[in-house]
Amino acid sequence: MDGWKSALLCDYYEYTMANGYIREGLEDRIVYFDMFYRQVPDGGGFAIAAGLEQLIERISDLRFTEEDLAYLRSKEVFCEGFIRYLEDFRFTGDLYAVPEGTPVFPGEPIVTVRATAPQAQLIETLLLLTINHQTLIATKANRIVRAAAGRAVMEFGTRRAHGADAAVLGARAAYIAGCGGTACALSDKLHGIPASGTMAHSWVQMFDSELEAFKTFCRLYPENATLLVDTYSTLKSGVPNAIKAFREELPPEGLDRCAIRLDSGDIAFLTRRAREMLDDAGLTGCRIIASNSLDEWLIRDLIDQGASIDAFGVGEKLITAHSEPVFGGVYKLVAVEDDRGAIVPKIKISENVGKITTPHFKKVYRLFDRDGKALADQICVHDETVDDTQPLEIFDPEATWKRKTLTGFTAKELLVPVFVKGELVYNAPALEEVRRYCSEQVDTLWEEVKRFSNPHRYYVDLSEKLWRVKQDLLRNPS
């Protein structure tokens, strides 16, 4: 059984707390939680939200089986009232989220949950593992795609992924963020992500000669003739034999669709020489693909060194987000409702200033200039509305003297309703639409925000009303 389909894919303390709420008569207490993150991976300027479609599926399917309930009874710490509560468990709350593919910034809600206390706790682990993983991979993939500067990037990481789910959904997240396809056939079957692949070194070694291996492959796959040329010697045999095979086995029109791949050696030097050899042979349309433990930094260096590369295959450093393999999304209580239904904001205070939360049930607006470039985000209390027909003063919540008045801007609310009273009200867009949306939204960011080293800090401001609520709670948190 797929692990995520079990309701027991949950931190044990969620059951402890939910059981406590039942025992204390708090099962109907309405609470508000925000999922957000504090720091962009790799010191980047932004992250790419992903995983909402799977979160919807998992919350919709969340049920406790008889086996699940028997396990919980066996622990002998949970009351029978809690077990009965789980027998008919359904999520009946509200959930708001930013659409997949949206650039998101530290401190702002990516997902907001309004539900009863037990329900809000019992979906926490599922929510975090789903959004954290795909957001991490989408963020890394987008960095790699941008480093490639218009050259195609294929996700090649299935064999190095941290399990089957990480491989399949990692490929999905990478595709949203701009990768052109995947090596994973199951991702193609389940999500429609174009899968492709040609040969490994073992194919070449299986034949009596490299030339025979290449010619055989060209005869079998004339529409996908990509030859791996570094099994023995890239320049002495690999490229010359590839040229012979292409000329002898492909129809004339196929000579513009062939390719070679390099997976080792000095890629910058070898691709330049290979390009010269191919062009001298009249194979100017033959593409050169590079792989071998690539990431955004190596890709950028290869391009800067004049490497002649048309496409990249990127494996383990993408699918594991090798340089920073954890997306630090957290799920924090921000408000509760009292007996009259009034929203009471809550705050978590820490000696570590970065861990102080922003209280209340909130909205997030993205503010765009006349050219469609994102200027800043503003987090507001839920009952506020940004009127973009009027001047708006925004300010840095950490340095309140830094203020700016915006005019002629456009405000877009980021969080959209997904579940309302347990009913799904959001039509998840097709994956191709999500991918296009992601590209469009990344293009709204200034280049200074997108640079890899020391990016400009994009401002996420608080409304005056929300800032005052936070200051009041900092002075009197309980």
Which pLDDT tens digit goes with each residue over 252-264? 888 888 999 999 9
Task: Report the distance separating Cα 359 and Cα 476, nearest Å.
Answer: 13
Cα dihedral sign, 137-139-143-149: positive
Name the pLDDT band for 2 (thresholds 50, 70, 90): low
Domain 138-319, CATH among 2.40.70.10, 3.20.20.70, 3.40.50.700, 3.30.720.200:
3.20.20.70
- pLDDT at 1 exceeding the cut of 50: no
Least confident of 285-289, 299-303, 352-356: 352-356
Two tokens, residue 245: 């095979």
Characterise 360 by phi-psi region: left (phi > 0), alpha (psi -120 to 50), beta (else). Answer: left
Q: Where are the beta strands (DSSP E) in 103-211?
A: 103-104, 111-116, 152-155, 181-182
Give the pLDDT score at 352.
87
DSSP assignment of 71-100, as one string? HHHHTS-S-HHHHHHHHT----SEEEEPPT
What digits encode the pLDDT tens for the residues 185-215? 999 999 999 999 889 999 999 999 999 999 9
Mean pLDDT score, 423-436 = 97
Among residues 218, 295, 303, 230, the alpha carbon closest in space to that of 257 is found at 218
Give the pLDDT score at 252.
86
- Tokens 């930013």 found at: 98
Task: Report the distance separating Cα 34 and Cα 383, nearest Å.
Answer: 17
Give the pLDDT score at 122.
97
Name the pLDDT band for 354 (thresholds 50, 70, 90): confident
* Amino acid, res. 60: S
Q: Where are the beta strands (DSSP E) in 222-329?
A: 226-228, 259-262, 287-290, 311-314
Q: Where in the chain is the domain with CATH 3.20.20.70?
A: 138-319
Mean pLDDT of the chain: 95
At residue 363, φ and ψ (nearest 5 deg) are -115, 160
Q: Residues with Cβ < 8 Å from 472, sequence gap 6 or more?
A: none
Task: Report the distance separating Cα 308 and Cα 202, nearest Å.
Answer: 26
DSSP-derived 3-state class of residue 261? strand
- pLDDT at 396 exceeding the cut of 50: yes
Among residues 307, 309, 327, 388, the alpha carbon closest in space to that of 140 is found at 327
CB of 458 closer than 8 Å to CB of 45: yes
Name the pLDDT band for 276 (thresholds 50, 70, 90): very high
At residue 184, φ and ψ (nearest 5 deg) are -90, 115
Mean pLDDT score, 169-180 = 97
Name the pLDDT band for 218 (thresholds 50, 70, 90): very high
Name the pLDDT band for 478 (thresholds 50, 70, 90): confident
Measuring CA to CA, how many Å separate 400 from each of 71, 216, 393, 404, 455? 53, 69, 11, 10, 22
In 10 A of CB 10, how many CB atoms? Answer: 19
Give the pLDDT score at 198.
87
Name residue 289's beta-bridge partners: 261, 311
- Tokens 């994973």 found at: 184
Regarding pTM above 0.85, the answer is: yes
How far from each other are the two terminal CA atoms of the chain, in whole angstroms?
45
* Amino acid, res. 436: R
Two tokens, residue 269: 């030097």
Q: Residues with Cβ < 8 Å from 300, sequence gap 6 or more?
A: 147, 452
Q: Residues with Cβ < 8 Å from 176, sequence gap 6 or more?
A: 48, 50, 100, 101, 134, 138, 141, 431, 434, 435, 438
